[in-house]
Structure 1
Amino acid sequence: MESIMPPRRALAEGFAESLVDDIIAGVYPPNSPLPGEQDLADKSGLSRLTVREAVKSLAAKSVLRVEQGRRTFVNDPSEWSPLDPVLLVARSSHNADRVTLPRKLLEARRVVEVAVAGFAAARRRDSHLEQLRSTIEAMEAAHASTEVEAFVQADIRFHQAILAAADNPFITALFQPLEQVLLIGRRQTSAFPEERVHAIEKHRGIYEAIASGDPAAAQSAMAGHMAQTEDDFDSFVVKHGTVLDLLNEQEPPHDPTKRR
């Protein structure tokens, strides 16, 4: 059977991601020139057209800058497109962004999600309340069994249910590019059992406020959750001197509630 070669677009996307990984790893530092197309093609085993397409795509996202008549240079990660999920995930492992980027994400969440909670309280239906209840129950079960990933997924579903209840497609669209980075952030803090307890308590308060139909109470409850999340990030993640790189499947810290 003849092998089917991947289309050039898929090859270019894959090579673009590998270039981003190399940049983050320091192979190509900020403001350094990128090797020429032929050198990159020889090194990767890809065609010059594929390499050119990958470089163009990264230039469009401000990862690279092409100076006419000279060469292609690497931009500092702070200049990269802020709404590209692949780049956000990559930047989350960059030394300069491992703490600052999660903090900025929390700022963005506070600005948007507090208002969203108020909309949800005013517009929620019974189906939304059932979704919120079920996700809290899933969080409780996952915490009891120390299943961090299941806890994180339930946590994300809770906030998605609030977005659905708020019934504003523009706000939902704003959050879509952030989902992957939000997952990373929740994995970082949820690896600690104390933080999971805090999250469950705050989520219950948000649910009760939304269920009561009181927008001001819902906003206050969400603001309290954001403040607690920031405190937990400082107390657990930053205090341990590093941000957990769960994308690389490192072991989370020992959970004293887990039976051996």
Structure 2
Amino acid sequence: MPRESLVSVVANGLLSRMVSGDLPAGTLLPSELVIGEEYEVSRLTAREAIKQLAAMNVVRTERGRGSFVNEVDRWTSIEAVARAATASGGARAMSLQVLEMRRMIEVGAAELAGPRVTDEDVAALRAHLDAMRAAHLSSDVDSFVEHDLAFHDVLLHASGNLLVPVMFDPVRRLLAQTRLETSEVPEIQAHALVHHENVLVAAEARDAEACRAAMAGHMQQTLDDLHTYVLKD
């Protein structure tokens, strides 16, 4: 296994212990030697794993004292925060907050993309939507999710703002992990197809306001479906 992978394995293992409460905020992490022995890796690998966690503000290193677990509200990794919130019983709130973040980024990105989409972008949107339809008919959830995410990626890049896809990337990784659950519901797939078609029509017209409205409608339908089929309240 490559050394980078070992570093991630150790970092994720330590993060899991923090999320579970085994290593709560304020706790001094075990020494590099102890971590190395526990995960059967070198001290150097253990040190790099701690650095990886420190880069996300999950831990802080104090000279001469060691590394301590930070409060979750100081963490700067969306994935890490989501894991902590879910583990503490906040899965419902996290699902809603992820959708709120999507709405903030994607509705604005769609508006920017409207007048900027190229013929190639439109063709890509159409191809992904056709693939989603085929996956819906064949009950291929994996393919449906793959092309759903790819459809949105086209618009994010078509926005012309280089920062937008970068900002959205950690959200996309969260979606890739959770979308399979929601997309297993045929009704949710059917609603998504309608709203993706609306977005495509607006993009073909190069209409910024129509793109914004279509994406906002998609986000609202996603919220409604989340309540109806997943959270079931």
In the superposition, the TM-score normalised over structure 1's length comes to 0.79
**Equivalent position to 1:18, from 2, 13, 25:** 13
Superposition pairs of residues 220-235 of structure 1, within 5 angstroms = 220-235=213-228
Letter in 2 for 1:49: L
CA contact (8 A) 1:89 1:180 kept: no
| Matching residue of 1:183 | 176
CA distance, structure 1, for counterparts of residue 140 and residue 103 of structure 2: 27
| Matching residue of 1:246 | none
Identity of aligned residues (%): 36
Query: Higher helix proportion, which one?
Result: 2
Shift of 1:195: 0.8
Secondary structure in 2 matching 1:66: strand
Shift of 1:183: 1.3
Change (3 A) 1:14 1:25: same
| Matching residue of 2:76 | 81
Q: In the alignment, is residue 145 of structure 1 matched against residue 138 of structure 2?
A: yes
What is the RMSD computed on CA atoms of the aligned residues? 2.4
CA contact (8 A) 2:157 2:164 kept: no
| Matching residue of 1:244 | none
CA contact (8 A) 1:40 1:51 kept: yes
CA contact (8 A) 2:72 2:81 kept: no
Shift of 1:41: 2.3
Change (3 A) 1:88 1:178: farther
**Equivalent position to 2:192, from 194, 199, 206:** 199
CA contact (8 A) 1:92 1:181 kept: no
Change (3 A) 1:46 1:167: same
Superposition pairs of residues 160-175 of structure 1, within 5 angstroms = 160-175=153-168
| Matching residue of 1:59 | 54
Superposition pairs of residues 100-119 of structure 1, within 5 angstroms = 100-119=93-112
CA distance, structure 2, for counterparts of residue 110 and residue 208 of structure 1: 19
| Matching residue of 1:44 | 39
CA contact (8 A) 1:22 1:28 kept: yes
Shift of 1:167: 2.3
Q: What 5-or-longer segments of structure 1 have no aligned partner?
A: 241-260
In the superposition, the TM-score normalised over structure 2's length comes to 0.88
CA distance, structure 2, for counterparts of residue 226 and residue 16 of structure 1: 34
Letter in 1 for 2:118: R
